[in-house]
Structure formats: structure tokens, C-alpha cells
Structure 1
């Protein structure tokens, strides 16, 4: 049984490795904007879960042919800002600057969707999904600090325009909830979802460490 991460996120990979799992990484390449357009009435939790499911499903056929005994895990994160807007990766320096200007000194909720597909003998035998929200308390960087942070390029490519484990951590006052979820994959929720498809996370520790 192998743990397959359907994500290119280095933060998710780092979290899993630190927690005893060396996953196979298979990048989904899902068109996130297309998935978002397909569920226009979805709430924040539904949206991130739909994105996570799309990512997991997109690599299932490839994984089934390569590793017939596996759990495929897809994740997606977005930030629900204090004004109720749900946002993903800023993509541009201008968008990241706007996010930080808005979020400074406020709280937002980082919502991460999770989707797990179990494969046995190359066939899908079970699937489950879920989401988790964690409150993030933003500090107030000075204009010079924000300019320097934007210049690193880091906030352009991460959900909500910030990180907890990187340069952005200097400007996060705290989190209320599961820190691993803010990093992109909730360990406790993933453990519970694995149980729902009949897999114990401790067995993945053993198999992936061999």
C-alpha cells in the first residue's frame, strides 16, 4: 500500500515526510479555474473539496497502472477573507499586495479540502472526502516589510498569498486550529479519512519507510 500525493506542493510533501510518510508524488495538472466555474453555487468548503477531488481523480488511472495497491490523496486550499471573499493563489505581485493590504491586522480562515481514493488490485474500492478550516491571525507588516516579502515571490504561488513555514511566517500572529491544515494537508483529518477507506496511517509509516 502506497500513499500517493496528487499535488506539486513542497509544503504538503514536507509535512508528510516529517510525519513519517514518503509519498509518491503525481502532479494532477487540473485546471482549477475550470473546476471552479463548474460549481458556481458552491460554498467555500464545497469548492475546495471539489478541487481536491478533481486532483485525486485526475491521477487515479495513472496510479492504478503503476501502483495497484494505493491511496491517492488530493488537497486544495483557499483563504476565506474577513470580507467573505474566497481566494486562492494571487498569481501576481499586485494581487498579493492587495490581499495583504486587506488582511493585515485581521483574521481569515484557511480552508483545505481533502479527497482520498483507495485502489485495490488497480480498481477503485472506496473514496471519501472532507474539509477543515483554521483561523489565521495576520500581523501588520510595515510598507518596507511587505515590499520585501512580495519581492521574494513566495506569496504569489500559495493559497491566500501567505505561508506559515516560510518568509510569511514572520507576519502571522497565530493560528487557531490545525497548523498542518494551514500548510496544505491536515494530518488529523487525513488520518480519519484514511480510516474511512479502511487504511491505518501507521501501516503507511511502515510500508513507505521500507
Structure 2
């Protein structure tokens, strides 16, 4: 049985590899804005979970043609601050605005997860869940923020920060699961795999 990651995130791939799994990667290419726009006033948890589900469902046919027996895992992360959901900033200007909001504050990093088990190319089990971790941000100087944005790292990650990269210098601490902040919660994924009848230890490489 193959573990298939429906994500192009190098951070998620790194978490899985460090935890003993060498996944196949099939990128979904889901239009996240379109998925979000189709949801009627979703809660933060509903939003990240729906996006994770969309990513998995988008690759099922492709995966079934490659691996008849597989578990397909998708994730989506966003930072919630003052009731606003903050995804990937995309531009230096938006990233700078985000850090003006984050400095010295605490935000909730939510990661939605979806798992589908395929047997003989057909879905035989589905499970979803989410995890929320409180992230306490430092108050970096304007020069530090400019230098961080100049690296390009915060532009394409939820909330404009990473825990496992240069952004880690500006995180004072977290309350919750570190792997979830990086992009995929190992404890939650293990539980979701069990819900579809798969033991994570059987997937270790």
C-alpha cells in the first residue's frame, strides 16, 4: 500500500520523511479560492477541512491509475487572527501587512486533514479532521521583517511564517502539535489512518 501526499509542500514532505514514510506526491492543483467561495459562511475548521478534502478528491482518479491500493492524504493550513483567516500572502506587500498584524500577538494555526483509502482502485474509506495550535509570535524589528520577506520564504506559506525555517526565529512558542504548524499533524494523521483501517507502522519505509 502506498502513502500518497496530495500536496506540493516540501515542508509536509519533510515531516513525513523524518517520521519514516516516503510518500508518492501527486499535486492536486485545486483552485483554493474557488473552493472557499463555494462554501456558505464556513467556520475556520470547516474551511481548512473542505480544502483538504478537495485536494484529495482531485487526485483520486490519477492515484487509482498508478497505485490500486493506497491511502491518499491532503492537508490545508491557515492562520486565524481576530476572526480573519490568513492564507498565503503571495506578495511582499501582503506579507509585510501580515507581520504588522502578527507581531507580539497569538494566532491559531488550523490544519485540515483528509484521508481516502483506495482498494483495487476504488475508495473504501474516508476520514477527515483538523487540528488547532496556538502560535505566540515575537515582535521583530522592521529591519528583521524586511530581511525575512526578502528571503521569499513567507510569501507562499499560511500566515506568512514557518516554524521549521527562518520564520522560527520569530516564534516565541506554540501550544499544540508542532508537526501541524509545519503542515501535517502526525498524531491526527495516525488517527485518521486508523479510521480507514490502516496502521501507520505498516507504512514506514
**Is the TM-score greater than 0.5?**
yes
TM-score for both structures, normalised by structure 1: 0.97
CA–CA distance in 2 between the matches of 1:177 and 1:196?
Answer: 22
How far off is 1:194 after superposition? 0.2
Q: Within 5 Å, give how 1:2-151 maps onto structure 2.
A: 2-81=2-81, 83-151=82-150
CA–CA distance in 2 between the matches of 1:3 and 1:89?
Answer: 26
How far off is 1:79 after superposition? 0.3
How far off is 1:40 after superposition? 3.1
Q: Residue 166 of structure 1 corresponds to which residue in structure 2?
A: 165
CA–CA distance in 1 between the matches of 2:127 and 2:145?
Answer: 40
Q: Residue 201 of structure 1 corresponds to which residue in structure 2?
A: 200
SS of 1:27's partner is: coil
CA–CA distance in 1 between the matches of 2:158 and 2:92?
Answer: 14
Which runs of 5 or more residues in structure 2 are unaligned? none
CA–CA distance in 2 between the matches of 1:191 and 1:17?
Answer: 15
How far off is 1:94 after superposition? 0.8
CA–CA distance in 2 between the matches of 1:2 and 1:138?
Answer: 37
Q: Residues 151-199 of structure 1, C-alpha deviation per residue, up to 9 Å, x if partnerless?
A: 0011110000000011100000011000000000000000000000000
How far off is 1:87 after superposition? 1.1
Which runs of 5 or more residues in structure 1 are unaligned? none
How far off is 1:65 after superposition? 1.0
TM-score for both structures, normalised by structure 2: 0.99
CA–CA distance in 2 between the matches of 1:108 and 1:155?
Answer: 16
- Tell me the matched-pair count: 205
CA RMSD, aligned part only?
A: 0.5
